[in-house]
Amino acid sequence: MNKTLLGYVPEHSPIYSVHPFVKLFFLLVVSLFPMFISAPEWNVGLMLGIMLLMIYSRVSLRTLKMYIPVAISMGIIILLSYTLLGGVQPQYQQITRVLGVSIYWERLRDALVVYFRVVPMILSMVFFLSTSRERDLIVAMRTIRIPFVVTYVFAMALRAAGMVLEDFHIVRQAEQARGFDATGKSIPYKIRKYVMYMIPLFALSLRRTEEFTNALVARGYAFAGEGARVKRADFVLTHYHFSVMDGLYTTVIVLLFAAILVARYGFQRLTVEDSYFLNWLYSIIVSAA
Amino acid sequence: MANAIEITNYSWAYAHGNGKALKAVNLSVEQGECVGVIGPNGAGKTTLAYSIDGLVPGQYHGIKEGTVQIQGREVEDYPKGMLQREVGLVFSDPEAQFTAMTVEDELVFGLENLGLDIPEIRERLDWVAELTGLGPLLQKPPYEISGGQKQRVALAAVLAMRPRVLVLDEPTSMLDPLSRKRVFEVLGQLRKVQNTTLILIEHGLEHVVPLADRMVLLAEGEIALDAPTPSFFEKLDLLHHHGLHVPGAVEVVSRLKNSGRYFGELPRGVEDARLVIQEIIDASSTKQGAV
């Protein structure tokens, strides 16, 4: 298994033949698709498409299980925000009253549209993180000639996040070894005692920063001056080759995006009025009301 | 030609430290020379290493007195990032020096900073991976490998830059005896082939003694003893006073010398000591036979 940002991908997967830039491009562009699609059924189709890509890439779909509670809570929050907390809108069609609050069809519809926009965006991020390593991100950014210092700071931020988690684990074990364990205690207690983790963690982070700066200087890296003017050879890019297939994948993504824009703004499709699902739901709910 | 390292009346006090970390240190090291630095914890060994690599005073606030010159030029006079082309520093905590996502990226990071082209980087990468046995680990994240492997990566990353002066701050503390022996063999080879100047800061002296031309004892920020390796260990009382462990073979012969039973040079290893002891026994038998 090969470790990725979000888990593991088997040793042999077709995703390894895809250039990291294509994966990053997929994330950046495909996650924009739902912004231009209001009809939920199309966004559900997009979700299914991403899941098929995950299966094809041999990403374990069990990764998605951990997002189910997040998806449910997010759905509830969106629904409540749009319906119960949506305010009084006399121009909208009221379908019922709950606890003295009017529930409007338009607000319910908007909640569904927003929810089915957010979920495929998250899914495309999960797909990207499940199939990419930190190095892929760096390679993708360097491929499009983003300055080294920017990609490096980004890479370090990624690494720092992992290191802080590791340090947190160490501090927690050290606290437990000395008899302090918040397991099974109430949340207010845990919050109060969290300071016992935070102080050593903060001190460790400061030390790490110092060590890291020393390491950069000791290896001849300079942010300014003569040392910074050296032309760097991007050795990591020698391992990656932007193939014809990569060009094809990128073109397909661009064409799909263009098709969505044309359908939306040229032919007024993919809208709420054009949605079979919303029209069906409207006929059921509003007729019943 | 200027010495590789020329430290004159050098003192350093950290801004928030208690007193001076180094006091009036004088040290001259020729190109290609190997100097072993030993001393108890808190003696100033790491500060000395940082001073040679320019991290002190470059990265720390404090008060400096005296001069630290590398290849005849004061460390502060080097433009940023240029001194490190001359001096390579291997930190005692290998993880502290990792700056990349994979072992391979780690090894090439310094080479990219030097401005080398791709074929040269590839040649050095292959060389150092072969030298340190890191070939199978190149695609792994450096923070997911074992302690010993991390130390090898840290060493390899600096070796690949081929500096003229190499400062190693306890580079083998996490290694098993076999890997440790291998590292010192590599250092010896580097010195022979590339005439690299070595400053070896180590607690375990068994491997340093055969390699070092000179030994320096640092105690409470001062150079308490600076002598060629064979005569360094004649001062057993001073070394013991500072809590230092002298290799057994060297100590036995040193005691024999101090008691007037041997007059030659102290041995550098077990085999040398065996020969010396054999010589003493033979001399003693001859003497008894004559009587």
Q: What is the DSSP string of B29-94?
A: E-TT-EEEEE--TTSSHHHHHHHHHTHHHHTS-EEEEEEEEETTEEGGGSPTTTHHHHEEEE-SSG
Alpha-carbon gap: B278 to the closest alpha carbon of chain A (Å): 47
Q: Do B89 and A218 lie within an 8 Å CB cutoff?
A: yes
Q: What pLDDT does A177 receive?
A: 84
Q: For A12-37, what is each residue's pLDDT tens digit? A: 888 889 999 999 999 999 999 999 99
- Optimal mutation site among A138, A210, A219, A240, interface B, most CBs of chain B within 10 A: A219
Of A135, A217, A225, the CB nearest to B102: A135
Mean pLDDT, residues A98-111: 91
Residue B136 pLDDT more than 70?
yes
Q: Categorize the per-residue pLDDT at B181 as very low, low, confident or very high, splitting at 50, 70 and 90.
A: confident
Residue A180 pLDDT more than 90?
no
Residue A260 pLDDT more than 80?
yes
Partner A contacted by B159 (CB < 8 A): no
Q: What is the residue extent of each domain of chain B?
A: 5-230, 247-291
A chain contacts of residue B108, beta-carbon cutoff 8 Å: 235-236
Q: Do B79 and A215 lie within an 8 Å CB cutoff?
A: no
Per-range mean pLDDT, top range of A96-105, A108-117, A161-170: A108-117
Maximum Cα interatomic distance, chain B, rounded to a whole number of Å:
74
Partner B contacted by A241 (CB < 8 A): no
Locate the chain A residue with the closest alpha carbon to B154: A215
Whether B198 and B23 have beta carbons less than 8 Å apart is answered as: no
Mean pLDDT, residues A135-152: 88
Q: For B240-262, what is each residue's pLDDT tens digit? A: 888 888 888 888 888 888 888 88
Tell me which residues of chain B, numbers 19 to 78, contact chain A at a CB-CB cutoff of 8 Å. Answer: 50, 53-55, 58-59
Partner A contacted by B123 (CB < 8 A): no
A chain contacts of residue B116, beta-carbon cutoff 8 Å: 233
Residue A265 pLDDT more than 70?
yes
**Comparing B62 with A223, which gets the higher pLDDT?**
B62
B chain contacts of residue A236, beta-carbon cutoff 8 Å: 104-105, 108
Tell me which residues of chain B, numbers 168 to 197, contact chain A at a CB-CB cutoff of 8 Å. Answer: none
Q: What is the 3-state secondary structure (H, E, C) of chain A?
A: CEECCCCEECCCCHHHHCCHHHHHHHHHHHCCHHHHCCCHHHHHHHHHHHHHHHHHCCCCHHHHHHHHHHHHHHHHHHHHHHCCCCCCCCCCCEEEEECCEEEEHHHHHHHHHHHHHHHHHHHHHHHHHHHCCHHHHHHHHHHCCCCHHHHHHHHHHHHHHHHHHHHHHHHHHHHHHCCCCCCCCCHHHHHHHCHHHHHHHHHHHHHHHHHHHHHHHHCCCCCCCHHHHCCCCCHHHHHCCCCHHHHHHHHHHHHHHHHHHHHHHHCCCCCCCCCHHHHHHHHHHHHHC
Tell me which residues of chain A, numbers 201 to 220, contact chain B at a CB-CB cutoff of 8 Å. Answer: 210-220
Q: What is the residue extent of each domain of chain A?
A: 2-132+243-288, 139-239
Q: What pLDDT does B249 receive?
A: 82
Residue B87 pLDDT more than 90?
yes
Residue B72 pLDDT more than 90?
yes
Q: What percent of chain A is predicted at pLDDT more than 90?
A: 46
Of A216, A222, A232, the CB nearest to B99: A216
Q: Which CATH architecture has domain B5-230?
A: 3-Layer(aba) Sandwich (3.40)
Q: Categorize the per-residue pLDDT at B33 as very low, low, confident or very high, splitting at 50, 70 and 90.
A: very high
Alpha-carbon gap: A230 to the closest alpha carbon of chain B (Å): 5
Q: What pLDDT does B268 receive?
A: 78
Residue B233 pLDDT more than 70?
yes
Residue A50 pLDDT more than 80?
yes
Q: Do B110 and A220 lie within an 8 Å CB cutoff?
A: yes
Q: What pLDDT does B291 receive?
A: 61
Of A215, A225, A234, the CB nearest to B97: A215
**Comparing A84 with A45, which gets the higher pLDDT?**
A45
Average pLDDT over chain A, rounded to whole? Answer: 88
A chain contacts of residue B141, beta-carbon cutoff 8 Å: 3, 134
B chain contacts of residue A213, beta-carbon cutoff 8 Å: 59
User: For the whole model, what pTM was predicted?
Assistant: 0.79
Cα separation of B240 and B195, whole Å? 33
Q: What pLDDT does B1 receive?
A: 67
Residue B269 pLDDT more than 70?
yes
Q: What pLDDT does A192 receive?
A: 76
Q: Do A238 and B118 lie within an 8 Å CB cutoff?
A: yes
Partner B contacted by A228 (CB < 8 A): yes
Partner B contacted by A160 (CB < 8 A): no
Partner A contacted by B153 (CB < 8 A): no
Q: Categorize the per-residue pLDDT at B118 as very low, low, confident or very high, splitting at 50, 70 and 90.
A: very high
Q: What pLDDT does A226 receive?
A: 75
Q: Do A235 and B118 lie within an 8 Å CB cutoff?
A: yes
Q: What pLDDT does B184 receive?
A: 86
Mean pLDDT, residues B153-179: 89
B chain contacts of residue A166, beta-carbon cutoff 8 Å: 143
Partner B contacted by A149 (CB < 8 A): no
Locate the chain A residue with the closest alpha carbon to B109: A219
Q: What pLDDT does B271 receive?
A: 83
